Structure 1
């Protein structure tokens, strides 16, 4: 490539065009680094610490076997629809049966209905019963409040590309289909990063690249289970030479007249400096720091196994423990697990997935209750998200793509022990059934996120900026936190 002979202004213009033309946002490191040329703005300094953790369930979790209505009418409908002639029937055992669903009692009575959780979520039941976990019923992407008739006749704007995995993952995280530039976690980071003395540690993923954390100014910082990933060979002996490491460092960080090379060197320097700061700031893993998660029990085999989601949450906890050294007051984290696209083998596959989910969330709650001697439960809130819900009908051995779904919010600040919203009718052919029992959402993702953002410290004006559709909804705060 020939050397660019352009002014800095021309380079910035070109960078802007490249970013918009490719809808880069969180798609490539180069685009992310262009985004850092802005400066973070905040409503004012905050004195406390708060963190939000997004736990994304990739593949679309089947909500109808996660949170269930168990009153007589609902259970009859449930077992009728989800019990099939095939060996792969997906109906769960009832209350009191061996391996049966786990009863919960929400603080708000819903017309005499009773409820339960999946049999392999005993830890989440305990958190719900203790008031540190809540359930939001039937949430999903919406542009405006929508009735079934409006959906069927398309008389109101509808979310684009419904029932598509990649597009709905992006809609949940960034209000637009695949290719979105900014996620609402990153946008919250934009507005509050000035409260952090090191803004690079505002939006952190322990699960790879996620558009949820991509802001207009803030960039997401990705870590592994061992923490920040270093650039090898910059110190010590390299190729038998005691000076080669420093030479390599000068090459990859050296100044140049070429603007692309200059930007690459700046990004590399930032990465080196961030790793040098984060490494010693993180609490160690194990007995002297953040306890290692126990193994979970695979419900299908009875065998003990490691839980990778719990390891991600341990990494988050280790970073939170270093908040003072990092100068952090507001942080947004992203963790995830996959495998929820259960068109087949749903009964066994989801049982294992939900066992991991429940085990990992309980581990994180216990760690937040005593993080290096401090109870941070009231300052850290975890919430779940997923592509979409699934059909209430079975395809014989699993379920297909849906829309609305139920989700969990966990933390000491959560108004737990309750189900928020009217739990949908169990069965088919009702006012929220858009086909095969797929749910028309009661609440929008904007309402869900805006409620979290209010707790996080954003003003109403900032919330309107972060969540583009929130002003279409009367209720901007669902009251679960």
Structure 2
């Protein structure tokens, strides 16, 4: 039975959209503005870098021991155009890395355009988590093929798996695990308005039940638009007049005025609090070199990360101790022309993360590396077998975690065999994940300050797994 959408329900939902601070908004702004009252020694931030489209793990982190490399070249060269990368030591070849812990005689490398990430890995500030993916509970290839496994809904669907990664639910979910962490920890902030922030538009990852995501443009604060338009499509209600006239007797107009005024005040407050861009504040990212055209090009990921840095630098003025951020880099659905397209994406990823690591070391005079952790996520991995000159939708994938609190220079989890017919292959080399998103996220959440007793609130499938912490955070 559908509950009628009454005026009471409408007002409740609008109040939720406006935020849930117990203080009147003006008083809250004053509290946020009192930088001296904010104890930023306890500050921590988590940044999700979402690689939209499904990143190809096989050409990102590669097993290079002879058996693995033979299988890699066999299946990646079987199409009309080879998508196999050159071996270690060859011109333009993959970049060898040496994890601190041995992996049963196996050797590894990174994509040749991830040189900056290799440097961070070698320096101990980047770790790799192998074969992470959406799981409800541990399963096997046999259970998957027989239909006996409990599986996430709508596997291999972009929209649904993006949502499952970010929220544990398929498309249509309302709350993400970044937002659920914000719900638990926002009480340590002077105001919850800037607890969860997205530079990539509406993202379920940073949506909570009580904490609303705050969206900023890649280059800064997003303005409130259409103030010279009309409410409800009628010329009797010009928005600017309604907003400046609080004497309206219409209940809906009063609620609308309250929400828009709050958005305008937040916009003005954050805009004035954010550290400036440029020499006097947060240095702008350099351009990166497109490996295909050799042209210097603006990197949208680095621009978003500069905005994140500007917000973090304003943590004292904002009165925040915990923040969750969402940024994204698109283009990873490489069904065709993969070798060229993926090369550019890897160059952008390495450039953006290296830039953020560098500025984090001296963020307005403070080294924030220990207090900020960045991690990658993606819809899913891709198949080992080429479809001609690209790859198709897979499942598990390898991910990077970066920061001063990361136990870097290591690969965590079971790195799968390369080839077909092994115990992680669900078909064409699509990988059955050996680590779940819930385990991956819970490891980050524990460092972030979520109590062990609350982890299952944030990650509903976590109780199904014996190992709750994958061990990659200090």
TM-score (norm 2): 0.90
Q: Deviations over 1:128-173 (max 9, x none)?
A: 0000000000011101111111111222311100000000000000
Note closer, same or farther for the CA distance 1:70–1:253 as it changes in structure 2 (3 Å cut): farther
* Structure 2 equivalent of residue 397 of structure 1: 389
SS of 1:200's equivalent in the other structure is coil
SS of 2:453's equivalent in the other structure is helix
Q: CA deviation at 1:368?
A: 0.4
Contact 1:252–1:268 at 8 Å: present in 2 too? no
2: distance between equivalents of 1:352 and 1:257? 56
Q: CA deviation at 1:272?
A: 1.0
Contact 1:170–1:211 at 8 Å: present in 2 too? yes
1:297-312 matched pairs, under 5 angstroms: 297-312=289-304
Q: Deviations over 1:16-57 (max 9, x none)?
A: 7xx7xxxxxxxxxx69717x35869xxxx9960000000001
Q: CA deviation at 1:233?
A: 9.9
SS of 2:254's equivalent in the other structure is helix
Q: CA deviation at 1:11?
A: 3.5
Gaps of 5+ in 1: 1-5, 20-29, 235-246
Q: CA deviation at 1:275?
A: 1.2
Which residue, out of 446, 454, 462, partners 1:462?
454
SS of 1:201's equivalent in the other structure is coil
Bigger drift between 271-280 and 331-340 goes to: 271-280
How many residues get paired? 446
* Structure 2 equivalent of residue 445 of structure 1: 437
Which residue, out of 271, 280, 284, partners 2:272?
280
In the TM superposition, structure 1's runs of 4+ consecutive aligned residues that sit over 2 Å from their partners are 9-16, 36-40, 229-234, 247-263
Q: CA deviation at 1:414?
A: 0.3
Note closer, same or farther for the CA distance 1:114–1:249 as it changes in structure 2 (3 Å cut): farther
* Structure 1 equivalent of residue 33 of structure 2: none
2: distance between equivalents of 1:454 and 1:263? 38
* Structure 1 equivalent of residue 156 of structure 2: 163
2: distance between equivalents of 1:37 and 1:260? 19
* Structure 2 equivalent of residue 27 of structure 1: none
Instruction: Note if 1:66 corresponds to 2:60.
Output: yes
2: distance between equivalents of 1:302 and 1:153? 49
Which residue, out of 43, 52, 56, partners 2:46?
52
Note closer, same or farther for the CA distance 1:453–1:255 as it changes in structure 2 (3 Å cut): farther
1: distance between equivalents of 2:22 and 2:432? 39
Instruction: Note if 1:226 corresponds to 2:222.
Output: no
2: distance between equivalents of 1:322 and 1:167? 35
Which residue, out of 89, 96, 101, partners 1:96?
89
Instruction: Note if 1:172 corresponds to 2:165.
Output: yes
Q: CA RMSD in A?
A: 2.3
Q: CA deviation at 1:255?
A: 5.3
* Structure 1 equivalent of residue 235 of structure 2: none
2: distance between equivalents of 1:253 and 1:392? 62
1: distance between equivalents of 2:75 and 2:265? 57
1:260-409 matched pairs, under 5 angstroms: 260-409=252-401
SS of 1:223's equivalent in the other structure is strand
Q: Deviations over 1:181-203 (max 9, x none)?
A: 10000111111111111210000
TM-score (norm 1): 0.89
* Structure 2 equivalent of residue 33 of structure 1: 17
Contact 1:253–1:269 at 8 Å: present in 2 too? no
* Structure 1 equivalent of residue 464 of structure 2: 472
